[in-house]
Amino acid sequence: MIGDRYNIKFTLPGKGEAEGELIRIKGPHLTEIINRNLPITSRGLVRDGMFVIPTNVLYTIEKPAISGRKGDIIYDSKAKAIIVLLEEKRFDSKMANIGTITKGMKIFTSLTMSSGVRIESIE
């Protein structure tokens, strides 16, 4: 059955874990595709107040957003990346706000460089 929210976990080796949720109503098809592609293992990069996680997920933006708040989980279709916002941000291009970090945001804000990251479903 299709849920309203997908609980996910971000594991950063040697740094800790954070939890978040993908909110289906913000992008029904996109969140389904990301959830089906879990686990995602990549190398995240801190850049301009964002933690950018390159993925192989390619999909269009269903409900575009031009801004986001700290802790939002964003999908950038041009970069094929999942982004965790480290600060309030206004985007140059439209992106999809697909979720939020619920626990452990401190791990992302303490990063200064790149880090390995694994995104997986909690269920």
80: left (phi over 0), alpha (psi -120 to 50) or beta: left
Does this model's pTM top 0.85? Answer: yes
- Render pLDDT for 56-113 as a digit per residue (tens, 0 to 9): 988 888 888 899 999 999 999 999 999 999 999 999 888 999 999 999 999 998 888 8
Phi, psi of 13 (to 5 degrees): -55, 130
49: left (phi over 0), alpha (psi -120 to 50) or beta: left
**Residues spanned by the domain of 45:** 5-121
Q: 2: pLDDT confidence band, cut at 50, 70 and 90?
A: low
3 vs 70, higher pLDDT: 70
- Render pLDDT for 29-72 as a digit per residue (tens, 0 to 9): 899 899 999 999 999 999 989 999 999 988 888 888 899 999 99
* C-beta atoms surrounding 34 within 10 Å: 23
As separate numbers, helices (DSSP H) first and strands (DSSP E) second, the chain gives 2, 9
**β-bridge partners, 16:** 12
Q: 1: pLDDT confidence band, cut at 50, 70 and 90?
A: very low
61 vs 11, higher pLDDT: 11
Say how many domains are in the chain: 1
The pLDDT of residue 115: 87
**CA-to-CA distance for 51 and 26, rounded, in angstroms?**
20
Mean pLDDT of 9-28: 92
- Read off the CATH number of the domain in which 65 is found: 2.40.100.20
